[in-house]
Amino acid sequence: MQKLAVLAALGDYYLDNLTGYSRLKFTLQNVNDFFAELQSGGWKTAPPFYDASATKTNIITKLNEAIDNCSNPDDWLLFYFTGHASRQMQLDNNGNGKYLTYCVTYSNMLKQGYSPGLDEFLTEEDYNQIIQNFHQKVPQGHLITVLDCCHAFGMVENFADQAEYHSVIAACSDGYTAAYSRNSLFFTAFKRSWHLPLSQVASRTRSIMIQMQAPNNARIQIASNFKNQTLNS
C-alpha cells in the first residue's frame, strides 16, 4: 500500500491580486506544517501548490496523476485545500435553483466586482469527478478530503454513497463560514488531533474548537472501513 497526497493553499494572492477576498496570512504555514507531517509518516507528497500555482487545472491534473500512480487496490489519496471558498446559485433547465460550492483557486481574471465564471474555479462537480475516478481505480482504497474553507462540506456530493471509502474532514458545513483570526481555528484544532486514530479525530477536533469558542462546527465523517487507522499508520 502507498499513500499519496496533493495539497493546495492560497493566501496572499487574494489581496495582492485585488480579488475582493481578504488575505489569509496563515495558509502557507499551515500547508507547510501538514506537508511535513505527511512526509514524516511516509506519504508521497509533491510540493504544495501555493497562490499562483494553485490553479484549478494544476490541482485537477495533479490529483488525476496521483490516481494514475496508484498501483495497489488499497492505496490512499489525500487532498488538502486551505483558502477561500464560496457558492453560487445555478438554475437548471426548469428554472430550479441549486447552490454550487467552489474553492476560490487562482485566477488572474478574478477582480473585486468581477467574477470570470465557475470554469476558473474548483467546483464540487469537478471534485465529484475526482472522487469517482479514485474509486474506480482504487476500489479498496481510502480517499481523505481535508477542507479548511467556508462552505467546506458543500464540496462533497452524495456522501452517503462514499461512506465506506471516503473520509471528509471539513471546517464547516455548506452554507457556513469558517472562522479565523491569526490562524484557522479549525486547523489549530485538527493539528492537535491528526495523530489520533481517525475514529477519534472528529470528537477531539470539535472539542478543541469548542474550547476556543469557535463559531463554526467542523463537519467530519470518517470512512467506515478505516476508522481504526491513523493518518500515518
Q: What is the domain-level CATH number for residue 69? A: 3.40.50.1460
Domain assignment present for residue 231? The answer is no
Domain assignment present for residue 48? The answer is yes
CA neighbor of 26 nearest in space, from 152, 185, 182, 148: 182
Please give the model's pTM, rounded to 2 decimal places: 0.95
Average pLDDT, the chain: 94
Domain assignment present for residue 55? The answer is yes
Domain assignment present for residue 123? The answer is yes
- What is the residue range of 108's domain? 3-226
pLDDT per residue over 23-79, tens digit each?
A: 999 999 999 999 999 999 999 999 999 999 999 999 999 999 999 999 999 999 999
- Would you say how long the chain is, in residues? 233
Domain assignment present for residue 232? The answer is no
Domain assignment present for residue 233? The answer is no
Predicted local confidence at residue 135, as pLDDT? 96
